[in-house]
Every structure is written in C-alpha cells, then in structure tokens.
Amino acid sequence: MILHTDAEQILAESEDYYRWLAEATNKKCAVILPKIFDLAIEEYYRIQIKQGYNLQDIPLIMPLVPFPSTEILVMATKIKPSDSFSPYRSQSATELKRKLYPQYPPSVQVTLKAITLETCGYIYQGVPEFRFFFETLFYQKILA
C-alpha cells in the first residue's frame, strides 16, 4: 500500500533531498513530510497489533512524497541517465505537467506506460525520494 502526496515544493537539484539541514523551508520538507507519514503509519501498525493482527496480516505501507509532484517521476522516465536532470528538478508541478502532457489531464494509463523496468533505473538515479521504494520492492522480491 502506498501513502502518497505531492510536496508541491521545488528541490532544484536531486541532492537537495539530502541537504535538509539547510535553512530554506522547502529543503526541510524533504524530510518532514515523509516523517509525518511515517508517524501515521506507525500509529496504524500499533492499532493493528493491539487488535491482534499478525505481521502477515498487516500490509506494507510506504510513504512517497515526490518533489514537486508525481510528474517528476514521469519526467525521470524520459531523461537518459547521461543527460542532465537538473533543469527539470527546478520546475514547478504545473510546468512539468505542461511539458509532459499536451492533452491535460493525463490518464493513469499514460503515466503507468512511462514506468518500465528500464526507466525504473532512470527514476532511481534521478529521483532520490523514490530510492527507498525501489529498494523495498527489490528486497521484497528477494524474500518472496
């Protein structure tokens, strides 16, 4: 299960996701928003355990907060790793939507078609807020 929201904040560089100690509020959001989700997920797990559910009965819940929006994920699928991703990181969600979708609003199918096994590597390299998600999926596959 994925708990998701768009941050609607711009992180000009992918590495800004890790520079959350900087004074700018938008850079602190990179850590704060997912942590709020983490607290809600932990509370959900606590309640489920109190009600007697076992580990096998409780879904894995992952918080995903893309900066500025889900469109950064789709844009990453269109940029080869050798190309610079920085110009896209510094755009607003609206600007990314206009670049990606001439026919707005897009269908879910258009978005899902962009995500393939090959483009997952592009996303992994360019969008750090999704790395833990991909690592978890990979780990789950190994355990299965």
Residue whose pair of structure tokens reads 């807020």 in the numeric block: 129
Report the greatest alpha carbon distance in the chain. 51
**Is 80 exceeded by the pLDDT of residue 19?**
no
**In the numeric block, which tokens belong to residue 102?**
């001439």
Structure-model confidence comparison of residues 16 and 71, the more confident one: 71
Q: What is the pLDDT of residues 42-92, one digit of tens each?
A: 999 999 999 999 888 888 888 888 877 888 888 888 877 677 777 888 888
Cis peptide before 68, with omega less than 30 degrees from 0? yes
Amino acid 90: pLDDT: 81
Q: What is the pLDDT of residues 108-140, one digit of tens each?
A: 666 777 788 888 888 888 888 888 888 888 776
Alpha-carbon gap, residue 10 to 30, rounded angstroms: 10
How far is the CA of 65 from the CAs of 29, 48, 50, 96, 142, in angstroms?
10, 24, 28, 16, 25
Amino acid 62: pLDDT: 84
pTM for the model stands at: 0.64
- DSSP states along 1-56: -EEE-------SSGGGGG-TTSS-HHHHHHHHHHHHHHHHHHHHHHHHHHTT--GG
**In the numeric block, which tokens belong to residue 65?**
């907060």
Amino acid 17: pLDDT: 62
Amino acid 8: pLDDT: 62
